[in-house]
């Protein structure tokens, strides 16, 4: 067959298509893996930011991974509050919340955070410093104005006092609801008492600069719905349908 014939032209074109297809497939797979790794790293970074273990956004990967070695990841049965010893290492509560075999529908009267579904199991993170447990980090989620916000609430081991709050994903309005990421707003949260002495959620987000006392924070200016969403999110996840049973088990084990 002559290279300059029409058959040769078609053969060259087919070979070129195969080569290009292979290159694109290889590149896409590698980029997908890289993107997944970057997503995991970003979640770890935001968890550490919430826990106050790092400051600022520009932290090397190596430092994040080194500090994260002080974080113990545990899976809990949200109904009983007990640890799940046989949970897979790659358990993902956020993915499980979308899987009919791993989730439950939240009763309407309890779905104040508008999540609709939650995983049967949840992930909690135990922060240790010099081998001593100092904080609990709880993943939280709930609907704002335009989107579901995903973040982390860090509590002191008394389970009542906030040490940090931060979000790693949302699609709220820039300059308004998106100000949940503003360091000045997040700085209000450390030290706030979110559970009363009977361990009932009591934190409130008050508009118009009316936040008073140890259990309220100022709402975001011009973003009342997003602010209320954060309040309801915390109430849900600290309540009896969220991490409430786990926190009760944790307190009892601390007493024992």
Q: Which two tokens stand for residue 27?
A: 């590149």
Cα–Cα distances (Å) from 71 to 64, 133, 174, 253, in that order, read 11, 10, 32, 19
pLDDT tens profile 102-132: 999 999 999 999 999 999 999 999 999 888 9
- C-alpha to C-alpha distance for 152 and 168, rounded to whole angstroms: 8
- C-alpha to C-alpha distance for 2 and 9, rounded to whole angstroms: 9
- C-alpha to C-alpha distance for 200 and 159, rounded to whole angstroms: 11
Determine the 3-state secondary structure of 71 from DSSP.
strand
Arithmetic mean of pLDDT over the chain: 91
pLDDT at 113: 98
Name the helix (H) or strand (E) containing 216. strand 216-218
Give the residue with greater pLDDT, 165 vs 19.
165
pLDDT at 115: 98
Q: Report the pLDDT averaged over residues 165-191.
A: 95
Give the residue with greater pLDDT, 33 vs 11.
11
Of 18-27, 34-43, 193-202, which gets the smallest average pLDDT? 18-27
pLDDT at 2: 52
User: How far does Cα 83 stand from its chain's mean position?
Assistant: 19
For the entire predicted model, the pTM comes to 0.85
pLDDT tens profile 30-88: 666 677 788 888 889 999 999 999 887 688 889 999 999 889 999 999 999 999 999 99
């Amino acid at each position: 067959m002559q290279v300059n014939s029409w058959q040769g032209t078609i053969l060259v074109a087919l070979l070129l298509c195969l080569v290009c297809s292979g290159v694109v497939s290889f590149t896409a797979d590698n980029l997908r893996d890289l993107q997944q790794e970057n997503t995991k790293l970003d979640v770890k970074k935001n968890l550490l930011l919430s826990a106050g273990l790092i400051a600022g956004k520009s932290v090397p990967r190596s430092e994040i991974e080194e500090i994260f070695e002080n974080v113990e990841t545990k899976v809990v049965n949200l109904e009983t509050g007990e640890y799940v010893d046989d949970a897979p290492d790659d358990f993902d509560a956020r993915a499980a919340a979308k899987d009919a075999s791993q989730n439950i529908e939240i009763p309407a009267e309890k779905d104040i955070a508008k999540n609709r579904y939650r995983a049967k199991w949840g992930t909690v993170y135990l922060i240790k410093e010099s081998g001593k447990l100092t904080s609990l980090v709880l993943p939280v989620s709930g609907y704002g104005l335009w989107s579901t916000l995903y973040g982390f609430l860090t509590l002191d081991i008394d389970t009542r006092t906030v040490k940090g709050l931060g979000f790693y994903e949302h699609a709220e309005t820039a300059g308004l609801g998106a100000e949940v990421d503003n360091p000045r707003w997040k700085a209000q949260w450390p030290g706030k008492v979110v559970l009363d002495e009977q361990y009932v959620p009591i934190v409130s987000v008050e508009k118009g600069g009316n936040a008073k006392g140890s259990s309220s924070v100022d709402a975001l200016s011009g973003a009342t719905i997003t602010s209320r969403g954060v309040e309801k999110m915390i109430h849900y996840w600290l309540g009896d349908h969220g991490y409430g049973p786990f926190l009760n088990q944790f307190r009892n084990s601390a007493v024992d």
